[in-house]
Copies of this chain bind each other. A is one copy, B any other.
Amino acid sequence: MQPVYLAGVGMTKFGKDSRALVEILCEAAQQALKETPVVDALYIGAMNPEEFTGDGNIASQVAETLGLTGIPALRIETASSAGAAALMSAFQAIASGYYHHVLVLAGEKMTHLSTSATTRILAEVIDKQERQCGATMPALAAMIAERYRQKFRLSQSRLESMLCAVAQKNPANGSRNPLAQFQKAITRETYLASKYVATPLRLYDCAPITDGAAALILTDQPTDVRLSGIGQGTGPLSLRGRDVFTSFPATRVAAARAFHMAGIAPRHIDFAEIHDAFTPFEIITTEDLGFFLAGKGGEAVLDGKTAFDGPLPINPSGGLKARGHPVGASGLAQVVEVTKRLRGESNGRHFMRGLTQSIGGLGTNNFVTILARTDAPAVHDSATPLPLPVITTAKKQPTQAGVSDEGVIETFTILHVTPDGFLPPLALALVRDQRGALLMAQGEEDSQLKIGQEVYLRQIDGVCLFTVKSQIQKVQHAFRNLLRRWEARAFLKSSRGRAPS
């Protein structure tokens, strides 16, 4: 493969930007083009410009607005990792020798819409049945966090401290980043005073709604930074289609390929930009990437291991939390941040290798990219490079048609910011029914909800509802079952010997 290098980079000030998406993209592009003014093609990442802005054909629009009419231009989309997907395609375009210099662009314009409109558009990337129950991205992220807490036997306050540590670290880092949307550190008190979006996640656990764009030029001409590894993986769309809730297999697949290609192991990475759309995602991802053991990512943050001046800085730019999260842009903005940091210095340190990880949807379409300075010393101790992942055929999820009438809660959340048509607070639970199938169900708010609890299930108008079994209900239910069995036996006895009518 032709080696691929990074030339010019560009990024707009993230936040509320009154300009049209195309103008925002062009500003970032022009910054990157300053260094390498001639490019062969444009590869653009954007999640949903059609619905966010009402305009389609974004690739042609940007080519024309940049004054590059004629140039090949296409758009790549993988939900919220679209920026990383554009990088992947552009990388392959150069690695093939088809193009020499490609301008990679990514952006999104979101702040001009109401929060409810934005939430609806963002929710289109999640599973339809779960969406119909009222699930949103924060709700599903919250259910993952709750499951993480239970799996690794963390008390509520211990998990809260871990999430708070991420929610404090990233804005503190953002305060050093002039392009970040939020450049102000927050206190533990501010965090604890912020409202729940979906328990256990508060407002400060979620990345903001942002406008912004990032740009970079990939080239086959050697520069100071090389794209040394890149990988992509997918995972189940729905929560109920998963075997594992506290890890994203899509990240593991992507990381295995990226490390394999770069010929290095996680220990050779100096710092990383990670998709912290929700604070638990940062913790889980540091585990998926092999930086920490499963269940140890939260402790690592509390111990300062991922702090700006720690041994493995995670999101030194502020991450999605503080830099902002224009969905389609984030995957590329991370790469711009890493490139800048490799070229400069970070708190007196000179880094050799940085990694980015981007998440599409609910950890459904993820990318890992490894960048290295071309003067980085070769790695000799990578005795056991990660093996390339093997894709296995997923088992089919039983259809929702017949829902059995009892089940057990696998994870849950109380959603306080609900989508249109759902009144808050809304309890959502992932329930495993008696036949072993997982389903998303809606219930009443109940402060007593916990994982492992038994529930009754009912399906009304295609939406599954649950109620927690009380002790009295359990006894009533047992009696009803006995009665039913007795009646059935009596009926069978009475009908025995009769001819069918």
Chain A positions within 8 Å of B, measured between CB atoms, are: 1-2, 41, 47-48, 50-51, 54-57, 59-61, 63-64, 67-79, 85, 88-89, 91-98, 121, 124-126, 128, 231-237, 241, 249-250, 253-254, 360-361, 364-365, 389, 391-394, 396
Cβ-neighbour of A233 out of B72, B91, B124, B392 (below 8 A): B72
Instruction: Give A345 Cβ to nearest chain B Cβ, in Å.
Output: 33
Instruction: Give the top 8 A-B pairs by smallest Cβ distance, nearest first.
Output: A95-B96, A96-B96, A72-B232, A56-B124, A57-B125, A69-B394, A70-B391, A60-B364
Q: Which of A69, A96, A98, A231 has the most CB of B within 10 A?
A: A69
Closest to A242 in B: B69
The answer to whether B241 touches A54, judged by C-beta atoms less than 8 angstroms apart, is: no
Residues of B with C-beta under 8 A to A1: 96-98
Instruction: Give A213 Cβ to nearest chain B Cβ, in Å.
Output: 17
The answer to whether A234 touches B69, judged by C-beta atoms less than 8 angstroms apart, is: yes
Residues of B with C-beta under 8 A to A391: 68-71
Instruction: Give A141 Cβ to nearest chain B Cβ, in Å.
Output: 15
The answer to whether residues A57 and B95 also contact, given A74-B78, A234-B63 and a CB cut-off of 8 A, is: no
The answer to whether residues A57 and B124 also contact, given A1-B98, A236-B64 and a CB cut-off of 8 A, is: yes
The answer to whether A61 touches B237, judged by C-beta atoms less than 8 angstroms apart, is: yes
Residues of B with C-beta under 8 A to A2: 96
The answer to whether A70 touches B124, judged by C-beta atoms less than 8 angstroms apart, is: no
Q: Which of A54, A56, A78, A98 has the most CB of B within 10 A?
A: A56
The answer to whether B92 touches A78, judged by C-beta atoms less than 8 angstroms apart, is: no
Q: Please give 20 more A-B residue pairs, beta carbons under 8 A apart, in addition to A50-B50, A71-B391.
A: A1-B96, A1-B98, A47-B56, A56-B79, A56-B125, A57-B360, A60-B78, A67-B393, A68-B393, A69-B234, A69-B393, A70-B253, A72-B254, A73-B78, A74-B76, A74-B78, A76-B89, A89-B89, A92-B93, A96-B97
Residues of B with C-beta under 8 A to A71: 233-234, 391
Cβ-neighbour of A77 out of B59, B88, B97, B125 (below 8 A): B59
Instruction: Give A259 Cβ to nearest chain B Cβ, in Å.
Output: 15
Residues of B with C-beta under 8 A to A94: 96
The answer to whether B98 touches A67, judged by C-beta atoms less than 8 angstroms apart, is: no
A-B contact pairs, 18 of them (CB 8 A): A47-B56, A56-B79, A57-B78, A57-B124, A57-B125, A60-B78, A64-B241, A68-B391, A69-B249, A70-B234, A71-B233, A74-B77, A74-B78, A74-B85, A76-B89, A92-B92, A92-B93, A95-B96
